[in-house]
């Protein structure tokens, strides 16, 4: 009998089948703006746009929800991209001169992007003995001619090669060398000088046999491919940067390195032409920077558009990033805050049309995409439905709100529309509208809130694939800063020439770092929210549909409680403005709570039904009644040795050195005491016994668990409040339940307060004169002193308590208040469930395996089954410092599945992760991009779209496609070989299509290996989430420490039971 009891059986087939129906790991879509863009392309027929990046990513965008993503095998910079018009194919050139042909391929009605062919030309000039073809030097420019079947390749050596695009093979006998061109040039122009690299290749819209070639030296040649001769030659003397051929073919415009551009007539005079008809330096006469690209677009009105980048006066404005738009006598200098990568116009490309009639101008910048409406007077910017720069100011925190009520959603959208009113003409519309979004309308609306360094909170529509900006809340207007004075001085110093116009929203500079948002909380039923900042400011706001003028009440809460011996050495508090202040429609402040000392807020929570907000810093926590505008509670959590908490963020170098020093001391201490400790074998026996106690369904047990090393009570920053939580539960006795507040600290302490909350007067926002009272009910000290990450109360059925107003408004199932409640306390090193009100240990799980992982983020999420719509389980999802995601059952704390999600070196990505209530999550893979992932087999948000493409050569497409090999998936780390909405097998995701019998391995034993993020590998975020000293120590720590700690096992440390103090 005992033998059967301790024998570990294999996985329970029924449970494994249920796991497959509940859990599945997918990295689905990347939200935001591509990191480090390097190339741009636009297909005017399909109305789709492509962006290439320095990490080799290719992203194609159409209408909102239409997205395709691919990644080159080599992490090389994409330098040029060209669509084959109307075919859904894209030719890319990398900085290693390799060419790649991408195709949008349809499977079962859904499209995805895959690489069909690639060509790597020989790297050295000369002749390739194997093929007899001249090898290419570095390719400088690519031109697609003859409807995309032929490509002309300009090189650094001045030659032009021709490539058959469907097969990506060079054509013999058609190479145009610089010597052949020089024969048509007058002798006095040659004078022993080389033509230089090919800077530009342009095709004729109506005659595909003619190509305009521009050489770096300034020579322009219209080359006739059919006759293999030069039709016309233009002898330019300035170094060439760019050339544009006017639609009719009668005019050329060239831009040069001295900031000038010249207009040449192709049908006047004899060839060669020595003088342009017009030559001007628009921002002269002083030396100017080069005009790197120029476009000419004609209009029926005769007022043509000339659009060019660069050309600014070198001495005065050489550091500006500008694109100039000139039409007749109107010149506008678009001034951006980041470098210009490329730009294009949306205009008519049908050969039968006589004029371009540009509709919009799209400018790709290093940090954002800006689209201007050229048909509306004033050329206003068009709001982008996606590709908004998440990092317009550095992201400091994020939160997700699920199942947003329709009324609140409409009010937030309305407030956002009032912030960005559209022109009355209604002509402004997003011009990139290609493809069809096949995804169903989301069943529920999800909000993603991001807090930023400049004191703003941005609201994003995270319901679907396209992350759409809805509304921006700014808190800086409540405080006195120097930004207005500086702006007025800057505007006064600006001259009328050049006619600068600030465009774009990317602004990485914060006027005051104290404005930075650290925590946000939103009540979706009352439209109230809390925003907490870096200088200890806690703002309570409420959504209003109308603008108002009102004063904001300020209350101060001293968290030190007059404790002696502590002196704050950090930044000063922000000074609030006095008197009535104008507030636009949207979230308007109702109360301001100032924590003293003004340290950064580390935790915040809101209970709108009770009218209470709780907040915590590195010094303690407080409770505030915002209905009566009065503080309720202040508790200091500082340890007598916690002097580091008084130094503020400016002493991070000291704190890092001190923490590293203490880490090494602990390592040495563990080595000395190792002789007195138990062996690893006894640890395995203890873990086996713990595993048996978990029950027969505990099918996955970590083979080795490291005994938790106790932390010193005088560790630095031990008083930091990590989590706060409100719950209606049993704390005083088992017969009476009531409001409670829970606080967890960095030293493993949990404080539970019983609250007396008087009922509010009916139909009134004010409560009776009797104040809210808080009495300490329980105080728990975890023996291992690990930081408490989260606290949650479970009802009699083992389910989390509903949010405020959910039960009272019948929006969620009422909690079971008859059975015994329990509290789940999640620390960085273990999870533990205690019964209430006695607070006795019930269940625990130590997540300290031989890797030595620590918990970084936890959340309770509901996982719905794909097989049965009515079945769902509530589980605990956690992210560790190694980047792994684990899912545990609640309240049994049995391991269900685990996946490798984030690279363990990506500290900022781990710190920025946020889970949703339905088994999804977000984390930053770059300063400007969120990666979205799903742990749920049913709740998946991914691109499902199609393109209406026309293939002129279906037979050739099939015959030249090579054997498919595993492809890298998403540009920044999506695992497997999935591209777009495809699965590893190449068919659509089995959870999304009925009738597919794709076998899946049990997720309990499957840990997908993720492709390392091509973007985040070389990226350091400015500020994302709570990057703590422990994160840095995890990153710097070696595996030797884990091995040493594994050997030094102690029996007394196994009993990590809480000490009940109160």
pLDDT tens-digit readout, 213-256 = 999 999 999 999 888 899 999 998 899 999 999 888 889 999 99
Share of the chain above pLDDT 70, in %: 77
Beta bridge partners of 293: 309
Strand (E) or helix (H) holding 825:
strand 822-827
Residue 679 has a pLDDT of 39
Q: In the chain, what are the domain boundaries? A: 13-33+853-948, 36-120, 136-240, 281-385, 388-480+496-534+541-552+583-592+603-619
pTM listed for this prediction? 0.84
User: What's the chain's average pLDDT?
Assistant: 82
Query: If you ran DSSP here, which 8-state letter would residue 769 be given?
Result: S
Q: Determine the pLDDT at residue 1020.
A: 34
1028 compared with 1023, residue with greater pLDDT: 1028
Cα–Cα dist 725/792, whole Å: 7
The architecture (CATH level 2) of 36-120 comes to Beta Barrel (2.40)
Most confident of the following: 492-496, 523-527, 643-647, 987-991 = 523-527
Give the per-residue pLDDT at 647: 65
Which pLDDT does position 74 carry in this prediction? Answer: 87
**Helix ranges (DSSP H) in 946-1015:** 954-960
Mean local confidence (pLDDT), 101-115? 92
| Cα end-to-end distance, the chain, whole Å | 43
Among 92-106, 478-492, 518-532, 583-597, the range scoring the smallest mean pLDDT is 478-492
Do 36-120 and 136-240 share a fold?
A: yes
Highest mean pLDDT pick, 630-644, 842-856, 887-901: 887-901
**pLDDT tens digits, one per residue of 437-448:** 999 999 899 999
Q: What is the pLDDT of residue 657?
A: 57
The residue with greater pLDDT, 1051 or 408, is: 408
* pLDDT for position 801: 93
pLDDT at 129: 38
Q: Between the CA of residue 1005 and those of 16, 219, 704, 898, what are the distances in Å?
A: 10, 65, 17, 8
Residue 422 banded pLDDT, cuts 50, 70, 90: low
Copy the structure tokens of residue 916.
């949703």
Cα 690 versus chain centre, distance: 41
Residue 676 has pLDDT above 90, yes or no: no
The pLDDT value given to residue 818: 82
Mean pLDDT of 866-874: 94
Domain covering 136-240: architecture = Beta Barrel (2.40)
Rounded to an integer, what distance in angstroms lies between the CA atom of residue 554 and that of residue 478?
Answer: 11
Q: How far is the CA of 988 from the CAs of 68, 437, 505, in angstroms?
A: 14, 15, 37
Q: 690-714 burial, b if ≥16 CB within 10 A, otherwise e?
A: bbeebeeebbebbeebbbbbbbeee
- Which one has a higher pLDDT value, 272 or 872? 872
């Amino acid at each position: 009998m005992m033998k059967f009891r301790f024998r570990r059986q294999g996985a329970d087939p029924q449970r494994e089948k249920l796991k497959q129906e509940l859990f599945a790991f997918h990295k689905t879509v990347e939200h935001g703006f591509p990191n480090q863009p390097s190339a741009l392309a636009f297909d005017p027929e399909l109305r789709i746009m492509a962006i290439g990046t320095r990490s080799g990513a290719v992203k194609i965008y159409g209408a909102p929800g239409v997205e395709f993503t691919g990644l080159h095998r080599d992490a090389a910079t994409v330098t040029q991209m060209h669509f084959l018009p109307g075919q859904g194919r894209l030719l890319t050139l990398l900085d290693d001169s390799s060419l790649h042909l991408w195709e949008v391929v349809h499977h079962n009605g859904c499209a995805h992007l895959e690489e069909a062919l690639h060509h790597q030309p020989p790297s050295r000039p000369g002749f390739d003995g194997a093929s007899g073809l001249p090898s290419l030097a570095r390719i400088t420019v690519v031109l697609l001619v003859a409807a995309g079947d032929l490509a002309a390749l300009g090189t650094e050596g001045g030659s032009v090669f021709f490539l058959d695009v469907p097969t990506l093979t060079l054509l013999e006998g058609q190479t145009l060398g610089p010597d052949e061109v020089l024969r048509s040039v007058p002798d006095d122009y040659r004078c022993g000088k080389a033509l230089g690299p090919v800077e530009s290749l342009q095709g004729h819209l109506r005659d595909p046999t003619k190509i305009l070639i521009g050489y770096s030296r300034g020579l322009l040649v219209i080359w006739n491919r059919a006759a293999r001769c030069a039709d016309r030659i233009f002898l330019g003397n300035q170094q060439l940067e760019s050339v544009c051929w006017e639609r009719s073919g009668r005019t050329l415009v060239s831009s040069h390195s001295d900031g000038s551009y010249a207009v040449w007539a192709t049908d006047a005079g004899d060839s060669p032409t020595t003088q342009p008809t017009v030559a001007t330096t628009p921002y002269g006469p002083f030396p100017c920077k080069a005009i790197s690209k120029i476009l000419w677009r004609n209009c029926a009105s005769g007022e043509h558009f000339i659009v060019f980048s660069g050309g600014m006066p070198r001495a005065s404005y050489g550091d500006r990033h500008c694109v100039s738009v000139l039409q007749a006598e109107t010149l506008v200098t678009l001034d951006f805050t980041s470098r210009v990568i490329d730009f294009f116009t949306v205009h008519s490309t049908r050969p039968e049309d006589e004029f371009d009639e540009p509709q919009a101008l799209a400018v790709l910048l290093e940090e954002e995409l800006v689209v201007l409406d050229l048909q509306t007077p004033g050329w206003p910017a068009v709001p982008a439905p996606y590709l908004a720069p998440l990092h317009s100011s550095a992201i400091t925190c994020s939160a997700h709100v699920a199942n947003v009520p329709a009324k609140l959603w409409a009010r937030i959208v309305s407030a956002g529309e009032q912030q960005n009113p559209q022109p009355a003409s209604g002509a402004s519309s997003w011009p990139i509208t290609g493809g069809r979004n096949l995804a169903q309308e989301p069943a529920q609306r999800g909000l993603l809130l991001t807090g930023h360094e400049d004191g703003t909170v941005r609201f994003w529509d995270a319901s679907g694939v396209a992350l759409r900006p809805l509304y921006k809340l700014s808190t800086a207007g409540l405080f006195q800063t120097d930004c207005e004075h500086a702006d007025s001085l800057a505007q006064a110093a600006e001259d009328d020439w050049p006619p600068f116009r600030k465009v774009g929203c990317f602004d990485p500079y914060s006027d005051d770092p104290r404005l930075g948002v650290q925590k946000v909380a939103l009540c979706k039923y009352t439209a109230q929210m809390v925003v907490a900042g870096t200088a200890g400011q806690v703002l309570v706001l409420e959504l209003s549909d109308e603008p108002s003028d009102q004063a904001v009440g300020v209350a101060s809460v001293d968290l030190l409680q007059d404790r002696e011996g502590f002196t704050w050495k950090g930044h000063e508090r922000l000074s609030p403005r006095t008197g009535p202040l104008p507030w636009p429609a949207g979230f308007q402040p109702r109360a301001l709570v100032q924590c003293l000392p003004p340290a950064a807020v580390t935790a915040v929570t809101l209970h709108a039904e009770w009218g209470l907000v709780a907040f915590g810093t590195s010094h303690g926590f407080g409770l505030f009644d915002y209905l009566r505008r009065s503080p309720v509670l202040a508790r200091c959590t500082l340890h007598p040795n916690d002097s580091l908490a008084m130094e503020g963020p400016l002493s991070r170098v000291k704190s890092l050195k001190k923490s590293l020093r203490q880490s090494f001391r602990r390592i040495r201490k563990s080595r000395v005491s190792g002789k007195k400790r138990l062996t690893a074998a006894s640890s395995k026996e203890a873990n086996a016994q713990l595993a048996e106690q978990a029950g027969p369904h505990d099918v996955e047990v970590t083979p080795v668990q490291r005994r938790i090393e106790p932390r010193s009570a005088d560790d630095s920053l031990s008083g930091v409040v990590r989590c706060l939580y409100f719950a209606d539960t049993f704390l005083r006795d088992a017969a009476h339940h009531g409001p409670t507040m829970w606080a967890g600290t960095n030293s493993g302490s949990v404080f539970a307060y019983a609250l007396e909350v008087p009922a509010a007067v009916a139909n009134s926002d004010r409560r009776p004169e009797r104040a809210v009272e808080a009495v300490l009910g329980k105080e728990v000290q975890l023996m291992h002193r690990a930081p408490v990450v989260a606290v949650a109360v479970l009802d009699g059925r083992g389910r989390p308590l509903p949010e405020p107003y959910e039960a009272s408004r019948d929006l969620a199932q009422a909690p079971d208040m008859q059975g015994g409640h329990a509290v789940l306390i999640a620390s960085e090193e273990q999870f533990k469930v205690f019964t209430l009100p006695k607070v006795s240990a019930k269940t625990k799980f130590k997540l300290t395996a031989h890797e030595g992982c620590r918990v970084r983020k936890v959340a309770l999420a509901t996982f719905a089954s794909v097989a049965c719509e009515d079945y769902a389980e509530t589980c605990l999802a956690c992210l560790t410092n190694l980047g792994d995601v684990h899912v545990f059952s609640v309240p049994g704390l049995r391991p269900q599945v685990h996946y490798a999600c984030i690279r363990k070196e990506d500290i900022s990505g781990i710190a920025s992760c946020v889970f949703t209530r339905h088994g999804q999550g977000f984390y930053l893979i770059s300063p400007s991009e969120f990666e979205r992932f799903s742990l749920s087999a049913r709740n998946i948000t991914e691109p499902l779209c199609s393109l209406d493409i026309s293939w002129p050569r279906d037979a050739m497409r099939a015959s030249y496609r090579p054997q498919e090999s595993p492809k890298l998936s998403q540009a920044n780390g999506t695992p497997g070989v999935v591209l777009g909405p495809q699965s590893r097998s190449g068919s659509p995701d089995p959870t999304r299509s009925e009738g597919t019998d794709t076998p899946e391995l049990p997720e309990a034993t499957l840990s997908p290996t993720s492709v390392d993020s091509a973007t985040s590998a070389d990226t350091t975020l400015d500020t994302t989430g709570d990057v703590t000293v422990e994160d840095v120590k995890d990153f710097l720590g070696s595996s030797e420490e884990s091995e040493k700690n594994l050997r030094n096992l102690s029996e007394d440390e196994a009993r990590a039971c809480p000490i009940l103090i109160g």
